[in-house]
Amino acid sequence: MIEDYDLIVSSFQSQYGIRLSKEVHEMPWKEFRQMLIGISPDTALGRVVTIRAEDRKEILENFTPEQHRVRNAWQPRHVEFIKTHTSKEQVDSQMQAMKTAFMRMAGLGGD
């Protein structure tokens, strides 16, 4: 979040008309988080997040050099963050929860 702070500031200004430099100290964390989650793909942050998250080959083939630079710069940092902040137990638990949810949706109980 720190490296994207300028994008966040710009996106809050364009989407909400909020100048974070003046209002962030008075804004409750929960409100900030909710607004950040609601950032539109039409904002600076939204566009960068869309580039970073893209994994469809047919879309990636049409990326500009700048889009590739943005995505390629972010991927190693993201992988490292996941490796250092996610344990095998957490991944296994999340996978089991997804399996259970899909089984329930298919009417197979999931237990």
The whole-number average pLDDT for the span 48-74 is 93
Closest CA to 8 of 46, 42, 41: 46
* Per-residue model confidence (pLDDT) at position 59: 93
Q: Do residues 31 and 12 touch, judged by C-beta distance below 8 A?
A: no
The tokens describing 77, both together, are 């940092």
Kindly tell me if the per-residue pLDDT of 38 is higher than 60: yes
Predicted TM-score (pTM) of the model is: 0.64
User: Which tokens sit at 68?
Assistant: 């590739």
Taking CA atoms, 71 is separated from 59, 63, 74, 78, in Å, by 13, 10, 5, 10
Angle at 16 between CA 3 and CA 42, to 5 degrees: 65
